[in-house]
Amino acid sequence: MTVLLMQLFATFFVIGLFTFGGGGAMLSLIQGEVVTAHGWISDAMFTDIVAISQTTPGPIGINCATYVGYEVLASYGKLAGILGSAVATFALVLPSFIVFYLLVRLLQRYSSHPVYESAMSALKPAVAGLIGAAALLLTFRTGWDGWQLQISVLTDNFPDWKAWALGAAALIASLRFRVNPIILILCGAVAGLLIW
């Protein structure tokens, strides 16, 4: 269990260290590590964790780390699961505290420097790409069959046409009509209960 705790700490520390743009951008990195690289949880469980993380108060990345940490160590008992939650959450936010402290010190000196301004503007497309990657990872499964790329829809996440219709309606409501995301989440929850 100690080795698993150290792996959990190292994994979420690295995710916290190299993620820019908040929790949404963090999801693809978390999925890549805990589902693909380590195999700690399944795609379906990760999707459930993301859904729960979105509906509970707090940043989605931190909520996701908390739930993943619990699930990874829950097989050792409830207290081990709670310890896993604490370790994963602490490891995820620790780099932010360290980097924030260092940045505040540097910003006091160089806030109007042109290199700083251009670096911040260059990060915006990268953040958009990471959020898009998270959406694709929650929708599609990819793999190689020899030299041929195989792409399939994650049927656990989109089991039938109703799920696709709800997803499309939410996308249109968000992009075209600028509906508040909180209202979309509540409407999606009610629609999910009524339809299924």
How far is residue 171's CA from residue 188's CA, in Å, rounded to a whole number?
11
* Encoded amino acid at 79, one letter: L
pLDDT in tens, 34-73: 999 999 999 999 999 988 988 888 888 899 999 999 999 9
Domain boundaries, the chain: 2-140, 161-195
With helix as H, strand as E and coil as C, how does the chain read? Answer: CHHHHHHHHHHHHHHHHHCCCCHHHHHHHHHHHHHHHCCCCCHHHHHHHHHHHHHCCCCHHHHHHHHHHHHHHHHHCHHHHHHHHHHHHHHHHHHHHHHHHHHHHHHHHHCCCHHHHHHHHHHHHHHHHHHHHHHHHHHEEEEEECCEEEEEECCCCCCCHHHHHHHHHHHHHHHCCCCCHHHHHHHHHHHHHHHC
CA 118 to chain centre: 27
Q: Which residues partner with 142 through β-bridges?
A: 151
How far is residue 72's CA from residue 5's CA, in Å, rounded to a whole number?
9
pLDDT in tens, 175-187: 999 999 899 989 9
Confidence of residue 145 (pLDDT cuts 50, 70, 90): confident
Give the predicted TM-score (pTM) of the model: 0.59
Res 157 pLDDT > 80: no
Res 111 pLDDT > 80: no
Average pLDDT estimate for 7-33: 87
How far is residue 16's CA from residue 11's CA, in Å, rounded to a whole number?
9
Q: Answer whether 45's CB lies under 8 Å from 71's CB.
A: yes
Instruction: Look up residue 130 and give its two tokens.
Output: 């990471």
Sequence-ordered list of residues with C-beta below 8 angstroms from that of 93, at least 6 positions apart, any chain = 16, 62
